[in-house]
């Protein structure tokens, strides 16, 4: 899709399922069951939606998804279905892994950085050999010292491999990755989670990461149980969604199982989702 001087595409990397109670935090099932249907194990359908942005100054991939490195037992636990070949992530748009110059990670949970590395000749190597990968320094530090509750969401090999290859840039605060592509430290989901914005020729867009994983999470109090700072997430959502609605920003949801991009409208105290057509996705 044309976006000013940029070309933007969604790559649906995988579908998976997580416990519905964990996905909706303190919201009772009697409410969330109206917007997300649960399977027999109480899991709701999710996906990993990567955003690929081609700019005149280089190509940026936002997030890497779950990746291919999962055992059969783990795949069954998450009902994980991998939809792409990680040796050729951009196949659906006719480009290759070497065409990526920057990879932006909202944070280092395994469903965001799991696709950062692949097994090549029995060795773990960065999936995008010519890219620099960007995360926040505070996120990286926390990933190494996460306590028992937070630890389960991190796999050290994902980011250690990037560090060993000198390909991980640990940012300290907000930063412009390439002209028009910026990261903003949000906190909320993790203390150094970052939201990504993209802007070209008067067009503005926002990739919320895990601050708003699906369109069902649009109401500010509907915050995931996984969040380390849920009250912060609620406030960030109110603030950023008001701006996105007022300025008609393009909005992207990282785990939305339906169409993950579109616009948000503010109607009285509610935010209403206006998705693009389904055929706007590179992989459907």
Does residue number 63 form part of the binding site for Zn ion (CB under 5 A)? no
CB 20 within 8 A of CB 32: yes
Nearer to Zn ion (CB atom), residue 45 or residue 210 = 210
CB of 136 to Zn ion, least distance (A): 15
Listed residue (206, 196, 224) closest to 262, CA to CA = 206
CB of 57 to Zn ion, least distance (A): 28
CB of 200 to Zn ion, least distance (A): 26
Which of 210, 227, 232, 256 is close enough to bind Zn ion by CB under 5 A? Answer: 210
CB of 210 to Zn ion, least distance (A): 4
Closest residue to Zn ion using C-beta atoms = 111
Number of residues that bind Zn ion (CB under 5 A): 2
Does residue number 256 form part of the binding site for Zn ion (CB under 5 A)? no
User: d(Cα 212, Cα 208) in Å, to the nearest integer?
Assistant: 6
DSSP string for 2-43: EETTEEEEEEEEEEEEEEHHHHHTTS-HHHHTTTS-B-TTSE
Residue for token digits 């989670």?
A: 193
Give the DSSP H or E segment for 243: helix 230-246
Contact region with Zn ion (CB under 5 A), list: 12-20, 36-44, 122-130, 206-214: 206-214
Nearer to Zn ion (CB atom), residue 210 or residue 256 = 210
User: d(Cα 178, Cα 59) in Å, to the nearest integer?
Assistant: 9
Binding positions for Zn ion, 88-127, rule CB under 5 A:
111
CB 159 within 8 A of CB 136: no
Nearer to Zn ion (CB atom), residue 16 or residue 52 = 16
Q: Which residues bind Zn ion (CB under 5 A)?
A: 111, 210
């Amino acid at each position: 899709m044309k976006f000013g001087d940029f070309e933007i595409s969604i790559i649906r990397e995988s579908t998976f399922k997580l416990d519905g109670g964990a996905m909706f935090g303190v919201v009772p099932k009697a409410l969330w069951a109206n917007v997300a249907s649960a399977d027999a194990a109480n899991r709701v359908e999710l996906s990993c939606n990567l955003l690929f942005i081609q700019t005149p100054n280089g190509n940026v991939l936002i997030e890497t998804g779950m990746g291919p490195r999962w055992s059969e037992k783990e795949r069954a636990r998450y009902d994980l279905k991998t939809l792409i070949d990680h040796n050729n992530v951009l196949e659906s748009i006719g480009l290759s892994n070497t065409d990526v110059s920057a990879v932006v990670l909202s944070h280092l949970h395994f469903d965001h950085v799991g696709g950062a590395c692949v097994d090549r000749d029995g060795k773990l190597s960065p999936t995008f050999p010519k890219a620099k990968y960007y995360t926040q320094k505070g996120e990286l530090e926390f990933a190494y010292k996460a306590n028992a509750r937070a630890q389960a969401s991190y796999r050290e090999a994902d980011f250690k491999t990037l560090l060993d290859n000198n390909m991980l840039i640990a940012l300290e605060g907000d930063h412009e990755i390439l002209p028009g592509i910026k990261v903003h430290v949000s906190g909320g989901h993790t203390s150094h989670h970052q939201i990504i914005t993209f802007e070209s020729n008067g067009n503005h867009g926002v990739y919320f990461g895990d601050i708003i994983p699906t369109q069902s999470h649009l109401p500010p109090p509907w915050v995931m149980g996984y969040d380390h700072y849920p009250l912060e997430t609620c406030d960030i959502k109110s603030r950023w969604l008001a701006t996105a609605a007022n300025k008609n920003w393009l909005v992207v949801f990282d785990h939305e199982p339906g169409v993950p991009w579109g616009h948000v409208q503010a109607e009285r105290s509610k935010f209403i989702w206006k998705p693009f057509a389904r055929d706007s996705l590179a992989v459907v």
